[in-house]
Structures are given as structure tokens and as C-alpha cells.
């Protein structure tokens, strides 16, 4: 049924569960995986992306802003994310699943839906973290965006919450 599965991953603890779920489906369907990470300032622990033209802005002395430090932090973040994607790809390939990786920058929801469309994905597997109603309203939800705009089926893997 599913032959091309796009797996949307981030740096959260949920990412390993998302990948495991996608691998299970891929093995059952002899499908290939595309592991996708979207570089975004919205992700936890990411430095904000360097906006185009930032090098032309005059930063007042004493603001503590240093464009070169910012650029290095962003480049380090990019490489760490790519390394993590490669490690996860190696894990999937070790089980016999054809797996590719792709990293893009931009809006996570839009980027995931766009990549699913151009790659011809049959399924998107993504995580969903519980947010308060206010957080969801103010910040939006990547998984909610995907559910409403994806060109294919979507599987959301939810965070396991304590049942106390």
C-alpha cells in the first residue's frame, strides 16, 4: 500500500519513536523512506536562522550581537542536524530499508508538505507533542498544518503522557 514514506524528524525525544513507526510500516510494505529535517528557528535548541541581508544591518555597539558568532552557531546546528539524520538513515538501512535523507530550511509544515509532494510520498509520518490550547493557538502546530495540507496520508505519532 505505502511505497514512499516521508519521515519528518526533529531533535525531540519523540523522533526515535517516529522513525521506529515508519520503519515498521516500511518493512511491512517493502517501502522506501525519506528522512526529512526542516531547519527552523521554531525548533527547540536551534539558533534563530540568519535572515537574508543581515550582514548589511548596522548593529549598535554594546548590543552584544556578533554576526560571525551567529553564523557559526547556525552552521554548527545545521551540521549536527544532518549528522543526526545520517545516523538515523544508517539505522534504517541496516534493517534493509532503502533510505534517503534531506535537510531543508524554512517553515516546517510547509516544507514537509512540499517535499512530500515533489518526492511523491504515499505517507508522511510525523510526531505530535501535546501543547496547551494557548500554545497551540499562539505557536500553531506543525502536525496540524500537515494534516490539513498534506498531499497524501498522514500518520501522527503522539507523545506518551503520564497517566497519573
List pLDDT tens digits, range 95-129: 999 999 999 999 999 999 999 999 999 999 999 86
Q: What is the pLDDT at residue 68? A: 76
**Total-model pTM:** 0.84
Q: What is the torsional sign of CA 28, 101, 76, 127? A: negative
What the chain holds in terms of domains, given with CATH numbers, is 4-158 (3.40.50.620)
pLDDT of residue 164: 46
Comparing CA positions, the residue from 106, 25, 17 lying closest to residue 6 is 25
User: For residue 81, what are the contacts with CB-CB under 8 A and spacing of at least 6?
Assistant: 11, 37, 39, 103
Q: Residues 139-152: what's their mean pLDDT?
A: 85
Please tell me the number of Cα atoms within 13 Å of 25 on its side-chain side.
Answer: 23
Instruction: Tell me the C-alpha distance between 139 and 133, whole Å.
Output: 10
Average the pLDDT over 2-28 and give the result. Answer: 95
| Tens digits of residue pLDDT in 45-75 | 777 666 656 555 555 555 556 677 878 888 9
Higher-confidence residue of 135 and 51: namely 51
Amino acid at each position: 500500500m505505502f511505497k514512499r514514506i516521508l519521515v519528518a524528524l526533529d531533535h525531540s525525544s519523540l523522533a526515535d519513536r517516529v522513525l521506529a513507526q515508519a520503519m515498521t510500516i516500511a518493512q511491512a510494505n517493502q517501502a522506501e523512506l525519506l528522512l526529512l529535517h526542516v531547519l527552523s528557528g521554531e525548533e527547540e535548541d536551534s539558533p534563530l536562522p540568519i535572515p537574508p541581508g543581515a550582514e548589511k544591518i548596522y548593529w549598535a555597539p554594546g548590543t552584544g550581537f556578533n554576526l560571525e558568532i551567529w553564523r557559526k552557531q547556525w552552521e554548527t546546528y545545521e551540521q549536527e542536524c544532518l549528522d543526526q539524520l545520517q545516523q538515523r538513515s544508517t539505522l534504517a538501512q541496516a534493517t534493509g530499508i532503502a533510505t534517503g535523507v534531506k535537510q531543508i530550511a524554512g517553515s516546517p509544515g510547509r516544507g514537509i508538505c512540499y517535499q512530500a509532494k515533489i518526492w511523491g510520498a504515499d505517507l508522511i509520518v510525523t510526531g505530535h507533542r501535546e501543547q496547551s490550547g494557548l500554545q497551540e493557538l499562539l505557536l500553531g502546530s506543525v502536525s496540524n498544518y500537515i494534516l490539513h495540507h498534506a498531499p497524501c496520508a498522514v500518520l501522527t505519532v503522539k507523545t506518551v503522557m503520564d497517566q497519573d
